[in-house]
Amino acid sequence: MGRVWPGSYRRPHRIADLRVFVGKLDTELAYAACSLLCAVIGAGYDLTSRRIPNAFTLPAIVFGLLLHCGLGGWRQLGSATAGGLLCGVIFLLFHLAGGMGGGDVKLITAAGCTAGLSLVGPLLILTSLTGGVMAIGVALYHRRLKETMVNMYTLAVHHGTKGLAPHPDFNLENAQALRLPYALAIAAGSALSLGMLIVRR
């Protein structure tokens, strides 16, 4: 009779745990890939028509919720809802302050719903970073970096005293203001989030 080593009975459990982990990672990749697809389509609308229609963003939100519910049940549906709400509320603050369009708010909500709560942190951070880099690039291209930095300071002082009230000059209604199709930043943040997941594999 062969010898049974202590702890050998735990091996099937470890294999099962590994399979669960791999399955979860594959599901997260699917969520992140669908979130990227959503963001890329939104960026296409933003670049071509300078708006992101409700006819796309609202079905995209529903798709993200159904995707999570279908693959992960009610628990994942809750994760998708929380992820979308978190993204939407954060971007809504910028919209109320006059610095972001409503289409961008709905697009990041759709991306958050599709990505799920566990991926929302990297999505928001990477989107913010890429948005900042793109904004600097736009300002450099138009040779208005110094002016932009002064305007940012003015905005910070304004919102520090007036809260979310839009600045009378520096807002989306000002035709002279530099504009960045922010859906591009959302798409870039989604792509980087997916890339991070692939590297983790």
% the chain with pLDDT above 90:
50
* Displacement of CA 52 from its chain's centroid (Å): 15
The answer to the question of residue 101 being in a domain is yes
Q: What is the mean pLDDT of residues 46-63?
A: 94
8-17, 41-50, 58-67, 178-187: range with lowest mean pLDDT: 8-17
The answer to the question of residue 191 being in a domain is yes
The answer to the question of residue 6 being in a domain is no
What pLDDT is stored for residue 19 in this prediction? 41
Single pTM value for the model: 0.81
More confident of the two residues 7 and 146 = 146
What pLDDT is stored for residue 20 in this prediction? 45
14-28, 60-74, 162-176: range with lowest mean pLDDT: 14-28
More confident of the two residues 171 and 50 = 50
Domain of residue 88: give its range.
14-200
Calpha distance 36→72 (Å, rounded): 19
Calpha distance 54→52 (Å, rounded): 7
Predicted confidence band at 25 (pLDDT cuts at 50, 70, 90)?
low
The answer to the question of residue 9 being in a domain is no
With a cut of 50, say whether residue 36 has pLDDT above it: yes
% the chain with pLDDT above 70:
76
Instruction: Characterize 6-17 residue by residue with b for buried, 16 or more Cβ atoms within 10 angstroms of its Cβ, and e for exposed.
Output: eeeeeeeeeeee
Q: What is the pLDDT of residues 62-102, one digit of tens each?
A: 999 999 999 888 999 999 999 999 999 999 998 888 778 89
The answer to the question of residue 7 being in a domain is no
Helices (H), the chain: 11-49, 54-96, 102-115, 117-141, 145-162, 183-200
Calpha distance 138→134 (Å, rounded): 6
Please tell me the total count of domains within the chain: 1
With a cut of 90, say whether residue 171 has pLDDT above it: no
Predicted confidence band at 5 (pLDDT cuts at 50, 70, 90)?
very low
The answer to the question of residue 3 being in a domain is no
The answer to the question of residue 49 being in a domain is yes
The answer to the question of residue 139 being in a domain is yes
Tokens of 147: 């002016």
